[in-house]
C-alpha cells in the first residue's frame, strides 16, 4: 500500500480534533472563513427536541432490521435526558459533501459523504480506497480495534463512525458496502443518539 502521494492538508481527517485547520468547538464564524474550501451551503437545519425525535424515528424505520426495540428506547431516553442542552443544535450542508453540526454555534460533529473526494486519513483516501485496507490502516495508526454493527464500523475511543464501508453478515463475516452509500462522521465527544455499544462486536480483518 502506497500512501506517499501528498493530499491537501485541508482535507485531513484528524481524529478527536477536526478537519485540517477546522477544530471541534471552533465558533461557526471562524469556520465560515473556509467557505472556498468547504463549498457552497446547500441547506441548513435547526431542530427542536421534538423534531430531533421525529427525525430519529424516521431513521429507525429505515434501519429497523439492524436496531432493536431496546436501541430505540435508549436513544429516546437519551434525547429526553440531554435534549434541553441540545435545543440550539443546527446542521449546515455544503455541496462538497461535508456537513457540520453545531451546538450554540460551536462545532460538534463533521460528516462527509462520497462527494468529499479529497478527504483522507494520513494521505490514504477515504472514499476511493479499498474499505478493508482503509479500516486496517486506521486501526493500526490509532492502535484501536474497530467494532461493527449492521452497516456501521466504529472506532469508539476516537469517535469515528463509518457507514456502509463494510456490512455485517451472519456468522461474523462481512461484505463490502456500496460505493455510493458510504459516509463517515467524527467528533470529539459521545453521540447522544448512538445505539448501545454492547450491540457492536470487534471486527477482525486480519
Residue 81 domain-assigned? yes
87 found inside a domain = yes
Which is higher by pLDDT, 89 or 85? 89
Q: Is residue 2 part of a domain?
A: no
pLDDT above 90 (res 30): yes
Residue 67: its pLDDT value, please? 57
Q: Is the pLDDT of residue 174 over 70?
A: yes
46 assigned to some structural domain: yes
If one counts every other C-beta atom within 10 angstroms of the C-beta of residue 20, the result is 16
In a domain, residue 48? The reply is yes
Cell of 158: 476516537
For residue 4, tell me if it sits in a domain: no
- The residue segments making up the domain with residue 172 are 9-202
pLDDT, residue 94, reads: 94
Q: What is the pLDDT of residue 196?
A: 72
Span 38-57, pLDDT tens digits:
999 999 887 555 665 566 66
| pLDDT computed for residue 75 by the predictor | 59
Query: What pTM was estimated for this model as a whole?
Result: 0.78
In-domain check, residue 3:
no
Domains contained in the chain, number: 1
Question: Cα separation of 182 and 2, whole Å?
Answer: 22
More confident residue, 195 or 165: 165
pLDDT, mean over the chain: 83
Residue 39: CB atoms within 10 Å: 16
Does residue 18 lie in a domain region? yes
d(CA 19, CA 10): 7
d(CA 194, CA 205): 24
pLDDT of res. 154: 95
pLDDT digits (tens, 9 = 90+) for 98-144: 999 999 899 999 999 999 999 999 999 999 999 999 999 999 999 99
pLDDT digits 0-9 by tens, 54-81: 666 665 555 555 556 666 566 556 555 4
Q: Which cell is 75 given? A: 436513544
Amino acid at each position: 500500500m502506497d500512501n506517499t502521494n501528498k493530499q491537501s492538508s485541508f482535507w485531513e481527517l484528524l481524529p478527536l480534533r477536526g478537519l485540517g485547520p477546522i477544530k471541534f468547538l471552533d465558533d461557526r464564524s471562524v469556520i465560515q472563513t473556509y467557505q472556498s474550501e468547504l463549498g457552497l451551503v446547500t441547506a441548513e437545519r435547526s431542530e427542536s427536541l421534538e423534531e430531533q425525535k421525529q427525525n430519529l424515528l424516521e431513521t429507525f424505520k429505515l434501519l429497523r432490521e439492524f436496531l432493536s426495540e431496546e436501541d430505540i428506547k435508549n436513544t429516546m431516553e437519551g434525547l429526553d435526558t440531554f435534549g434541553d442542552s441540545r435545543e440550539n443544535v443546527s446542521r449546515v450542508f455544503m455541496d462538497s459533501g461535508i456537513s457540520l453540526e453545531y451546538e450554540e454555534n460551536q462545532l460538534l460533529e463533521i460528516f462527509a459523504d462520497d462527494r468529499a473526494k479529497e478527504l483522507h486519513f494520513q494521505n490514504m483516501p477515504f472514499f476511493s480506497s479499498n474499505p478493508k485496507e482503509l479500516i486496517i490502516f486506521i486501526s493500526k495508526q490509532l492502535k484501536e480495534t474497530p467494532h461493527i454493527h449492521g452497516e456501521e464500523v466504529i472506532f469508539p475511543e476516537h469517535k469515528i463512525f463509518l457507514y456502509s464501508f463494510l456490512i455485517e453478515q451472519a456468522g461474523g463475516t462481512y461484505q463490502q458496502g456500496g460505493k455510493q452509500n458510504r459516509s463517515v462522521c467524527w467528533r470529539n465527544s459521545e453521540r447522544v443518539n448512538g445505539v448501545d455499544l454492547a450491540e457492536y462486536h470487534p471486527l477482525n480483518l486480519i
